[in-house]
Amino acid sequence: MNAPRGRPGHRRLRRRHLVAVVLSGLVVVALAACAMPRAATTRFDDITTRDGGANSRPDGRTGHEPPSDRSGSPRERQECADGTPATASYAPHDAEPGVVPEGSTMERIRERGALRVGISADTLRMSARDPFTGRIEGFDIDVARAVAEAIFGDPGRVRFRVITSAQREQVLIDHEVDIVVRTFTITCERWEQVAFSAEYYHAGQKLLVPSSSDVRSIAGLDGQRVCASEETTSLALLRTWEDVEPVAAATHTQCLALFQQGRVDALTGDDTVLAGFAAQDPYAKVVGEAVSDEPYGIGVPADQVDLVRFVNAVLERRAATGGWRQSYDRWLSDVLGGAPAPPTPLYGRAA
């Protein structure tokens, strides 16, 4: 897979494209951090070059954790201490989009005049600002507007607040926003601080490789260098892949830069993030089956269960009426393939 990318002309094109990416201001932030032990992994700062340039391979490969599984098996869904699956939410019961009960959280939001939503502004295809229109658009934004429409009858009654991944829980705890729609993976640890809707998108860890590459899965990566962002579950899983040299970078954007410079052969992360990269880089493509489960939910303050039930009713209607599929087709299908079925909601959590 390296021969085509090693051509000087190809590298120059990739560098020019990198400059365009940087100028566009589309900076993709790191995935939600997940503590993990440090393994013997090459950092991009550690890469030594034969010619002093940026594109040579390291002289020697570093070791990494022994292989455990290269079959691509996804991680098992998390089950919380009380036996409730992490992805179980509150059933909608009598909640109905467009119907705002008196005294409810939705009524207070309606009286305020806008739904306050915590989002990303730089996750292309999920939630990113269009440099030409200035509008923030993407799959996550469509979800937020659907909730606003169910409350106000107007999808435009939204007040977006751009937040980082690390701020997602705190802005809900402090009631600074009504909901967070920001590639927010549902976990039991987060349920201890906030509440989640039912799963609205099932992401998974995949590979980004050059468009000329024959690699189709992890099995084709033997002897190659693969980058993942530090302190993420993606890097933790990458370190278990046999005969692959893991390379750690501070952010996914730095991984993309290494990839475009030819200093790594592939990068790995959530397919939603990789879809945005592939959309920016005509020389890249997303391949392989997902090797992890990343169930996304809408974050809601823990003490506003009525809003969670209402949001779940919105999600159910959106899936039943084709809104989910239309949004997927618009933002993700050209990179990730045809639309899968929307996630099946799981309920059973007691208020």
pLDDT in tens, 188-245: 989 999 999 999 999 989 999 999 999 999 989 999 999 988 766 788 889 999 999 9
Can you tell me whether residue 268 is helix, strand or coil? strand
pLDDT tier for residue 96 given thresholds of 50, 70 and 90 = very high
Model confidence band, residue 247 (pLDDT cutoffs 50, 70, 90): very high
- Which of 196-200, 282-286, 324-328 is predicted least confidently? 282-286
**pLDDT value of position 230:** 76
User: Which of 24-28, 94-98, 135-139, 207-211 is predicted with the least confidence, judged by mean pLDDT?
Assistant: 24-28
Inform me whether the pLDDT recorded for 69 exceeds 60: no
Whether 137 contacts 119, CB under 8 Å: no
Round the average pLDDT of the chain to a whole number and report it. Answer: 80
Residue type, 16: R
Least confident of 24-33, 170-179, 224-233: 24-33
- For residues 282 and 105, which has the higher predicted lDDT (pLDDT)? 105
Instruction: Please give the model's pTM, rounded to 2 decimal places.
Output: 0.71
Structural tokens at position 152: 């106000």
pLDDT surpasses 80 at 83: yes
Per-residue pLDDT, averaged over 301-314, amounts to: 98
> How far apart (Å, rounded) are the C-alpha atoms in residues 18 and 280?
9
Q: In sequence order, what DSSP letters do the residues of 186-218 get, joined into one string?
A: --HHHHTTEEE-S--EEE-EEEEEETT----SG
Report the distance separating Cα 333 and Cα 339, nearest Å: 6
Q: Give me the pLDDT at residue 18, please.
A: 43
Q: Band of the pLDDT at 41, cuts 50, 70, 90? A: low
Q: Could you give the C-alpha distances from 253 to 77, 175, 229, 248, 334, in angstroms and in order?
A: 28, 31, 9, 12, 21
**pLDDT above 60 (res 293):** yes
pLDDT at 86 over 50: yes
Residue 331 pLDDT more than 60? yes
pLDDT mean over 160-182: 93
Going along the chain from its start, the domains and CATH numbers come out as 105-333 (3.40.190.10)
CA–CA dist 274, 294 (Å, integer)? 14
Check pLDDT > 60 for residue 16. Answer: no
Question: Alpha carbon of 31 to those of 7, 56, 107, 185, 253: distances in Å?
Answer: 32, 28, 34, 10, 11
CA distance 297 to 142: 14
